[in-house]
């Protein structure tokens, strides 16, 4: 079963891949087994993260990038992430609208993802979805996210290159510092550059870089600031050229630097995976236990406080999951306390 | 707590029909009940709609129609059959005269919601489709 799915995905079958991504999002049991088997077919695609505030034109830019990459004979996968409503849990995924002209192109696979998870699951499911498109043999995978949270920054970090999109007139450079995405940008694009103030935005960014450069450990690459009008297909070729330049620049790094970079990426990815898995398992375990409701009632009627309940639930349920694990956790805590 | 399974619906307007308000209203109340809506907007060809349904792995396709272009809806059904997507219900809403509605239902549309259908009736129907 798993084998035939893997075979179809590696063969480029869109339906099988789409279905697997859906299962990843829905947390369907058994998906992990498929991902395990799929993993050895990954690692070939180049992952471009595109992030920026809502309305800066990310989807339009991505649409033009797809076009540019297709002209260069490359196949493209796109993961367009839109936010889940914190009120209803639903989402309107509208990024495709700007990319629908590629809909019938077999070399392009566009997929929308909603942020969904309440505890950082997005990073995990996006990474897995990247793996699926990678295994399909896509040359480039573009991940588009709204750059407003830790999750988005994490996704940017897990890409091979991160492009930050800004527009003229959207606050000064202090906003960029606050957003905390500044540090992860490898290329900056000022979109809608036909607007007034584009020059000022350029200068603001440039000043930021000059300040940042003094404290940056990053000597090997100075992030370029590009002007673009995605809607008019202006500045896209320059952007794709810079992407290639960066890609080549990475290849020129010393062997040690590459290894170091890879190690830290794997380290982060693995830690994320463990973290998500732990939270998911423990939360499921606790919330599905019959005591959970009783505890809630106790807090409700004031016989217990939430702090104590948290302690009790964790100590009781963790030991149920695995005694050995609890021991491990205790010793970890003890070590942590010593440090 | 768990992300869990969510209902995913594709909403689109087909052909040279430019009436997007209905489609957007439906999209937003589906979101409000916790569904994920892939919204394609207007001027979509049947091919674009069916391909998006495949790439997005949706549970239901909803077409808003206000421009008498029922043949286009029929073409979507044909393509769905061709692509083995018959397990996905296609629902329609909008100003569709009774005679055309009957023809579409006969051709394979699962349900048609005429003007003044309540949002609850649409939500309930989608939920019942997915449960099946």
Cα torsion B32, B38, B44, B48 to 10°: value is: -160
Chain B residues in contact with A93 (beta carbon < 8 A): 36-39, 56
Could you give the CA distance from residue A322 to residue A313 in angstroms, rounded to a whole number? 14
CB spacing of B40 vs A85 below 8 angstroms: no
* Residue in this structure with the two tokens 């509208």, named with its chain if needed: A94
| pLDDT greater than 60 at residue A162 | yes
Q: Cα separations (Å) of A36 from A17, A40, A132? A: 15, 8, 11
Could you give the CA distance from residue A67 to residue A236 in angstroms, rounded to a whole number? 9
| Mean pLDDT, range A216-243, rounded to an integer | 90
Could you give the CA distance from residue A41 to residue A334 in angstroms, rounded to a whole number? 41
What are the DSSP calls for B59-107, one per residue? SEEEEEE-SS-HHHHHHHHHHHHHTT-TTS-EEEEE---HHHHHHHHHH
pLDDT for res B123: 97
CB spacing of B4 vs A26 below 8 angstroms: yes
ipTM of the prediction: 0.92
Residue of A14, A88, A97 with shortest CB distance to B34: A88
Please name the residue of chain A whose CA is at the shortest distance from the CA of residue B28: A92
Could you give the CA distance from residue A289 to residue A309 in angstroms, rounded to a whole number? 14
CB spacing of A21 vs B35 below 8 angstroms: no
pLDDT band at residue A284 under the 50/70/90 scheme: confident
Three-state DSSP state, A234: strand
pLDDT for res A149: 63
HSE, CB side, 13 Å, CA atoms: give it for residue A231. 9
pLDDT band at residue A210 under the 50/70/90 scheme: confident
Do B17 and B70 touch, CB atoms closer than 8 A? no
| pLDDT greater than 50 at residue B116 | yes
* Residue in this structure with the two tokens 């695995």, named with its chain if needed: A322
Sorted by sequence, the CB contacts under 8 Å of residue A11 that are 6+ apart come out as: none
Sign for the CA dihedral angle at A299, A303, A304, A305 comes to positive
Could you give the CA distance from residue A27 to residue A90 in angstroms, rounded to a whole number? 16
E strands in B84-125 = 90-94, 111-113
Do A6 and A36 touch, CB atoms closer than 8 A? no
Best residue in B1, B3, B45 for a mutation probing chain A (most A CBs within 10 Å): B3
Sorted by sequence, the CB contacts under 8 Å of residue B116 that are 6+ apart come out as: none
Please name the residue of chain A whose CA is at the shortest distance from the CA of residue B41: A97
CB spacing of B3 vs A28 below 8 angstroms: no
| pLDDT greater than 50 at residue B10 | yes
Residue of B28, B33, B40 with shortest CB distance to A100: B40
Name the burial class of residue B98, with classes exposed (0-12), middle (13-18) and buried (19+) by CB atoms within 10 angstroms of its CB: exposed
Residue-wise pLDDT for A70-86, tens only, equals 999 999 999 999 888 88
Chain A residues in contact with B44 (beta carbon < 8 A): 100
The Cα of A92 is separated from the nearest Cα of chain B by a number of Å equal to 5
Given CB atoms, is A284 within the 8 Å cutoff of chain B?
yes
CATH code for the part of the protein at B8-131: 3.40.50.280
Please name the residue of chain B whose CA is at the shortest distance from the CA of residue A14: B55
Sign for the CA dihedral angle at A224, A227, A231, A237 comes to negative
pLDDT for res A234: 96
Residue-wise pLDDT for A91-150, tens only, equals 999 999 999 999 899 999 999 999 886 555 667 888 999 999 999 999 999 999 886 666
| Mean pLDDT, range A153-169, rounded to an integer | 83
Residue-wise pLDDT for A166-205, tens only, equals 899 876 555 655 556 667 789 999 999 999 889 988 988 8
Given CB atoms, is A283 within the 8 Å cutoff of chain B?
yes
pLDDT for res B74: 94
Could you give the CA distance from residue B23 to residue B13 in angstroms, rounded to a whole number? 7
| pLDDT greater than 90 at residue B90 | yes
Phi, psi of A47 (to 5 degrees): -100, 120
Lowest mean pLDDT among A26-30, A302-306, A330-334, B76-80: A330-334
Mean pLDDT (chain B, rounded): 93
Do B12 and B46 touch, CB atoms closer than 8 A? no
| pLDDT greater than 50 at residue B2 | no
Chain A residues in contact with B39 (beta carbon < 8 A): 92-94, 96-97
Do B18 and B70 touch, CB atoms closer than 8 A? no
What pTM does this model have? 0.88
CB spacing of A18 vs B5 below 8 angstroms: no
Residue-wise pLDDT for B55-84, tens only, equals 999 999 999 998 888 899 999 999 999 999
Q: What angle do CA A109, A59, A194 make, to 5 degrees?
A: 145
Residue-wise pLDDT for A11-53, tens only, equals 999 999 999 999 998 888 889 999 999 999 999 999 999 988 8
- Helices (H) and strands (E) counted in chain B, each on its own, are 5, 5
Strands B111-113 and A46-52, by their bridges, are unpaired
CB spacing of B8 vs A22 below 8 angstroms: yes
According to DSSP H, which parts of A253-305 are helical? 255-287, 291-300
CB spacing of B32 vs A90 below 8 angstroms: yes
Enter the tokens of residue A158. Answer: 């897990």
Do A122 and A155 touch, CB atoms closer than 8 A? yes
pLDDT for res A326: 61
Could you give the CA distance from residue A208 to residue A311 in angstroms, rounded to a whole number? 45
* Cα A106 versus chain centre, distance: 24
Chain A residues in contact with B27 (beta carbon < 8 A): 92
pLDDT for res B1: 30
């Amino acid at each position: 079963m798993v084998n035939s799915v893997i075979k179809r995905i590696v063969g480029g079958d869109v339906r099988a891949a789409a279905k697997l991504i859906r299962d990843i999002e829905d947390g369907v049991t058994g998906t992990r087994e498929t991902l395990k088997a799929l993993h050895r077919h990954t690692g070939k695609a180049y992952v471009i993260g595109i992030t920026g505030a809502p309305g800066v034109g990310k989807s339009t830019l991505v649409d033009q990038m797809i076009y540019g990459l297709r002209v260069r004979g490359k196949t493209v996968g796109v993961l367009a992430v839109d936010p889940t409503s914190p009120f209803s849990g639903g989402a309107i995924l509208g990024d495709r609208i700007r990319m629908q002209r590629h809909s019938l192109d077999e070399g392009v696979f566009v997929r929308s993802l909603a942020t969904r998870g309440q505890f950082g699951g997005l990073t995990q499911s996006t990474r897995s979805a990247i793996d699926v498109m990678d295994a399909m043999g896509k040359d480039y995978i573009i991940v588009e996210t709204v750059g407003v949270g830790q999750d988005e920054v994490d996704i940017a970090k897990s890409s091979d290159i991160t492009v930050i999109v800004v527009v003229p007139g959207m606050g000064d450079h202090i906003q960029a510092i606050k957003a905390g995405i500044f540090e992860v940008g490898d290329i900056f694009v000022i979109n809608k550059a036909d607007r007034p103030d584009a020059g000022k935005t350029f200068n603001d960014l440039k000043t930021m870089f000059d300040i940042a450069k003094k404290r940056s450990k990053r000597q090997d690459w100075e992030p370029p600031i590009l002007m673009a009008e995605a809607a008019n297909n202006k500045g896209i070729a320059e952007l794709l050229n810079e992407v290639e330049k960066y890609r080549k620049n990475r290849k020129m790094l010393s062997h040690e630097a590459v290894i170091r970079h890879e190690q830290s990426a794997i380290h982060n990815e693995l830690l994320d995976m463990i973290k998500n898995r732990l939270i998911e398992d423990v939360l499921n375990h606790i919330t599905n236990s019959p005591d959970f409701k009783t505890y809630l009632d106790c807090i409700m009627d004031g016989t217990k406080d939430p702090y104590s309940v948290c302690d009790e639930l964790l100590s009781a349920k963790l030991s149920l999951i695995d005694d050995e694990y609890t021991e491990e956790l205790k010793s970890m805590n003890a070590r942590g306390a010593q440090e | 707590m768990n992300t869990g399974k969510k209902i995913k619906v594709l909403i689109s307007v087909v052909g040279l029909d430019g009436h997007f308000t209905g489609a957007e209203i439906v999209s937003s109340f589906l979101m409000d009940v916790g569904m994920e809506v892939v919204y394609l907007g207007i001027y979509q060809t049947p091919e674009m709609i069916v391909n998006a349904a495949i790439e997005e792995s949706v549970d239901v396709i909803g077409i808003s129609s206000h421009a008498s272009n029922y043949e286009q809806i029929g073409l979507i059904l044909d393509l769905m059959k061709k692509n083995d997507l018959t397990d996905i219900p296609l629902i329609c809403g909008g100003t569709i005269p009774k005679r055309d509605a009957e023809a579409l239902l006969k051709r394979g549309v699962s349900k048609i919601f005429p003007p003044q259908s309540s949002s609850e009736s649409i939500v309930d129907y989608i939920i019942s489709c997915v449960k099946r």
